Amino acid sequence: MARSSSHSRSTRPMRSSRTKVQTYQEESSSQDETTDLRDSRRTSLSLRSRNTARVPKSYREESTDTSVEESVEALESESSVTPSNEAPYLDLGSASTPRPSRAQPSRRATTTPKSKTTKRALKSSGQVGRILPKRAKTLASEPISLGSGVIPPWQTLPYHVLLDIFLHASHPVFDEVRSARNDSVNRAVSLPPLLPASKSHSLLRLLEQPQESLSMNYSSKIKELHVEVEPLLLYKSGPTLGYFDLAKLIEKTPQVHTVRLYHRDDFELGFSQWQINQSKWTYRSSVFSALAKSGISLRSWDWNARFLNTDELVDLMMRTHPRRAFQSLRELRLFRFDNPSQMDSATKEAGLSQVLCMLPDLQRLTFTDSFLVGGQTLINLPHTIRSLTLNNCDNLWSPDLTSYLSSHGTNLRELSLSHNRHLNMSFIHNLAQSCENLEVFKMDLSMHDASSYHDIEPHFEDLLARTEVPTWPTKLQEIELIQLRNWDEPTAEIFFDSLVNAAPGLRDLRRLAISALLEIAWRDRANFRERWIPQLERVFLRRSTQPNPNLRSLHKRPLKSNSSVTGERLDEPEAQIDDSMQATSSRESHAISQRQSTRLARQKSREADDVGMCDVVNIRIDNQRPSELQYDEDDFLDDELSGDEDWAG
């Protein structure tokens, strides 16, 4: 009985060092506890052939890297009276198997409760301060995905539903910035991204097999190829695999419409022209021959001057754009187009525009880190472009963009301008007239500089002149303006006032995000913030709740059948019944009309006061100095746990 009672009171696992101490200095231990201690010591010693008292002291930490087989053997070799905690328990799905939350240090079969006398005994024996056994490492628990328990009929789901499901579960499969596979690959049944190289070779071997003999035609399932050039195409993949043949892969994927050949450094901005190193890999003629041989019609393609210098690359574009594979291009991205010699820049810009005009269906165009992009390039672009992105183009000025928007802005639906050092917002004065169909307008004035100077300041004096009042296209759905600076308080007043005045016409606006820097006194900046942020939120932020899908429109009450009418109702004259039903119907119609009138009146009143339809309104006004890396609280937190989370005092 003493054993069971003491065991029930013990809630904290006893350390092994406390049970190994032999001492006779306990002052106030009961006879039952002394007998219990002797019995438990005798039981534990009988299970082992060695004498633990003769083991010399050692300060080496015990290893916790125990294999599964050793753990099972350790469990089987322990006493059936008390289980051992030297190795973690194995949860094999059995209901009778205990499952502690973490591995605990080994202990002997004892049920002696802790007491102050035991602590004194430990202290007198010299065991206090001894290095404890190393605690087992706890693995970070992965988030548990709780499902509804309903398994849909996968075989009968439509294609577009399956496509959305797999895109949500797998995208993005590969992190191009880190050149590493994401965890979503495991959830997507190990879909093979083209890195590491062994995956690419495995994919190619799969596609080379007769597709009729496989469970599905894999060749027709691949639509996009995203290839990091140097680790896959430049070096051998070991002595057995050799070089990877991209042309052969293209021949085996006739349904491909997107091919991206990129460099890892394409995501780094701020490098000077002399800091950009040319890649050892260059465009192969076999790739373009494979595109022609397979009859592929591309929709998206990248040209990168890192793989071929700009002059030779423009000549290559001149030869390849008239081919069938490029005539259906809708999206084109150009990286690192520059003019190192600074000679005959107008001629090179005209040649670049000429090769772009060879693409009749081009709709989305992106320039990144391209010094060659200037006024001549923009003014000669094709009129079919609906989305234009200019990212870190140092030769771009506001007058050049104003001329382009005046002649080509009618067809634009999206305009994104980021990190352009010489570009201010003077062009916004005629934005509504030039780009009447514009839906997305983004501008980021944060600058990047990878040199030792770290020059992150724009190279224009004023963001806007006081006479340049912004105008806003009425079809705008998203406005995102980041790091607006180099202006004074009156100019900022004019800018925000133009937004408020244009609000009644911006009925399609759903997102408004503005980050502005004002170099004024902190009291004036606080007053400016308190005056404009609530006003912009009141004007643009949507306050009406979404309609409840469970609510339905009111229906007239159906007439009851004769069988459902009570006996008393059957005795009434038929005319009296009709009169009562007509009266009830008229009362219901009158109540419905009153509710509708009240609802319409409230709606008109709300529309007169508030015109906002935005789901997101994010306004930030401060004087924080912009930097390439923005740190927050999460960057200063410890990544690892301290290890004492389970200590209860």
Residue-wise pLDDT for 392-431, tens only, equals: 998 999 999 999 999 999 999 999 999 999 999 999 999 9
Domain edges within the chain: 2-124, 192-371, 397-545+604-628
Q: Which two tokens stand for residue 300?
A: 């998206």
Domain 397-545+604-628 bears CATH identifier 3.30.160: no
Burial classification of residue 611, based on how many CB atoms lie within 10 Å of its CB (0-12 exposed, 13-18 middle, 19 or more buried): middle
Q: What's the pLDDT score for residue 630? A: 64
pLDDT recorded at residue 181: 64
Closest alpha carbon to 219 in 234, 230, 204, 231: 204
Q: In the structure encoding, which two tokens stand for residue 580, read together?
A: 């009562």
What tokens does 577 get?
């019944």
Class for the domain spanning 192-371: alpha beta
Task: Give the three-class secondary structure for 197.
Answer: helix
Q: Please tell me the predicted confidence (pLDDT) of residue 198.
A: 83
Domain 192-371 matches domain 397-545+604-628 at the CATH topology level: yes
CA-closest candidate to residue 364, choices 334, 394, 404: 334
> SS3 letters for 386-416?
CEEEEECCCCCCHHHHHHHHHHHHHHCCEEE
Residues 6+ apart with CB under 8 A from 150: none
DSSP 234: I
- In angstroms, the CA 587 to CA 237 distance is 83
Length of the chain, please? Answer: 649
Taking the C-alpha atoms of residue 506 and residue 542, their distance in angstroms, rounded to an integer, is: 13
**Please, what is the average pLDDT of the chain?**
74
CB 105 within 8 A of CB 135: yes
β-strand partners of 620:
515
Q: Among 310-319, 449-458, 460-469, 595-604, which is the least confidently predicted range?
A: 595-604
Q: In angstroms, what CA-CA distances link 355 with 231, 391, 408, 584? A: 30, 20, 18, 76
Residue with tokens 């080379």: 208
| CA-based torsion, 128, 129, 134, 139: positive or negative | positive
- State percent of the chain over pLDDT 70: 57
- Residue 86 scores a pLDDT above 60: no
579 or 537: which carries more pLDDT confidence?
A: 537
Q: Which helix (H) or strand (E) holds 601?
A: helix 574-609
In this structure, are residues 259 and 301 in contact, taking their beta carbons and an 8 Å threshold? yes
Task: Please enumerate in sequence order all residues whose Cβ is within 8 A of that of 554, keeping only pairs 6 or more positions apart, or say none.
Answer: 592
HEC letters along 109-172: CCCCCCCHHHHHHHHHCCCCCCCCCCCCCCCCCCCCCCCCCCCCCHHHCCHHHHHHHHHHHHCC
Q: Average the pLDDT over each of 452-466, 555-569, 570-584 and give the range with the smallest value.
A: 555-569
What tens digit of pLDDT does each residue of 520-564 get? 999 999 999 999 999 999 999 988 776 666 665 545 445 444 444
Kindly report, residue by residue over 293-341, the tens digit of the pLDDT: 999 999 999 999 999 999 999 999 999 999 999 999 999 999 999 876 6
The secondary structure of 5-63 as a DSSP string is: HHHHH--SPPPHHHHS---S---S--HHHHHHHHHHHHHHHHT-SS-GGGSPP--PPPP
133: nearest Cα among 32, 194, 62 = 62
275-284, 480-489, 504-513, 584-593: segment of lowest average pLDDT? 584-593
| Chain segment 368-390, per-residue pLDDT in tens | 989 899 999 999 999 999 999 99
What does the alpha-carbon distance between residue 118 and residue 36 come to, in Å, rounded to a whole number? 14
Q: Band of the pLDDT at 488, cuts 50, 70, 90?
A: very high
Q: Which residues make Cβ contacts (< 8 Å) with residue 526, sequence separation at least 6?
A: none
**What span, in angstroms and rounded, lies between the C-alpha atoms of 23 and 121?**
6
CA distance 327 to 117: 89
Q: List all residues 6 or more positions away from 296 whose beta carbon is below 8 Å from its beta carbon.
A: 250, 254, 256, 257, 325
Residue-wise pLDDT for 202-250, tens only, equals 889 999 998 888 888 888 889 999 898 988 898 888 788 888 999 999 9
Average pLDDT over residues 276-281: 84
H or E stretch at 175: strand 174-175
- Percent pLDDT > 90 in the chain is 38
Structural tokens at position 645:
């989370």
Higher pLDDT, 107 or 576: 576
For residue 629, the tally of other CB atoms under 10 A from its CB is: 5
Q: Is 520 helix (H, G, I), strand (E, B) or coil?
A: coil
Sheet of strand 440-444: strand arrangement: 224-228, 258-262, 300-304, 331-335, 364-368, 387-391, 414-418, 440-444, 478-484, 511-517, 616-622
- CA 474 to CA 570: how far, in whole Å? 64
Average pLDDT rounded to a whole number, residues 18-37: 44
pLDDT at 515: 95
Better-predicted residue by pLDDT, 72 or 50: 50
